Amino acid sequence: MVRIDILTVAPELLESPLGHSIPKRAQDKGAVEIHIHNLREYGKGRYRQTDDYAFGGAAGMVLMIEPIFTCIQMLQGERTYDEIIYLSPDGERLTQPCVNRLSMLANIIVLCGHYKGIDHRIREQLITKEISIGDYVLSGGEPAAAVLVDAIVRLLPGVISDETSALTDSFQDGLLAPPVYTRPKVFNGWRVPAVLLSGNHREIAEWHEEQALQRTQTLRPDLLTDEKIPS
């Protein structure tokens, strides 16, 4: 069982993506516990303030240190966390090996930034890892948190019914996935490749491998390292 605590000022942005489909199934099956914490509940004063102007006159609001610190301290009082992740375009680019590693941890905190970001002292003192989902800027970390948590939970044992399914994903072997087809065999004159209808498992497996390699060479040559190209 993995436990993921997500800290956010916009919990509604996470409720739908994590409340349906595979993330919901993962929770229903007890493979993961996802707890969403509204930082506003830890906000300062009567107005539950969570953000303030940046010192030095920089444009935009900054998430304050106290609500985040109080929430993280409360959680750390209850259990030990393996990683405290901050989602940010400055972070390490999210890749499948990174997701694989995170899926083996027990307790993870995921902090979503908003506005211009969070008080930098949180990043210096409390965050153990910063992750980016790509070289573009989102208005908040929540969509990135949904991406990260989705990618983690689908790897947990028992979540995807076909045991081999997550292992044959694109990227699990460093290659793109081969194309897939379903009925009808012919639509509008467009045919499913004959080999897939042949019943010959060895030939089908070879075709899958060839296609994966070919597609990777064409679409993502950057993924190929020398040792993956058969001599």
Query: Using CB under 6 A as the criterion, which residues of the chain lie in contact with ligand ADE when the complex forms?
Result: 87-89, 113, 132-134, 136-138, 141, 144
CA-closest candidate to residue 13, choices 87, 65, 73 = 87
Q: Are strands 2-8 and 83-93 parallel, antiparallel or unpaired?
A: unpaired
Q: Please, what is the minimum distance in Å from the beta carbon of residue 214 to ligand ADE?
A: 30
Instruction: Give the Å distances, CA to CA, from 128 to 137, 161, 177.
Output: 21, 33, 32
How many Cβ atoms from other residues are within 10 Å of residue 230's Cβ?
A: 7
- Residue 128: CB minimum distance to ligand ADE, A: 16
Q: Report the candidate in 69, 87, 68 with the shortest Cα–Cα distance to residue 142.
A: 87
CA atoms 221, 230, 207, 163: torsion sign: negative
45, two tokens: 């004063």
Q: How far is the CB of 85 from ligand ADE (least distance, A)?
A: 10
Q: Tokens for 133?
A: 């989902």
Nearer to ligand ADE, 115 or 171 (CB): 115
Nearer to ligand ADE, 96 or 217 (CB): 96
- Give least dist CB 64 to ligand ADE, A: 18
- Say how far apart CA 104 and CA 102 lie, in whole Å: 5
Task: Assign 190 to helix, strand or coil.
Answer: strand
CB of 38 to ligand ADE, least distance (A): 18
Q: Which of 132, 216 has the CB closer to ligand ADE?
A: 132
Q: Which is nearer to ligand ADE, 126 or 212 (CB)?
A: 126
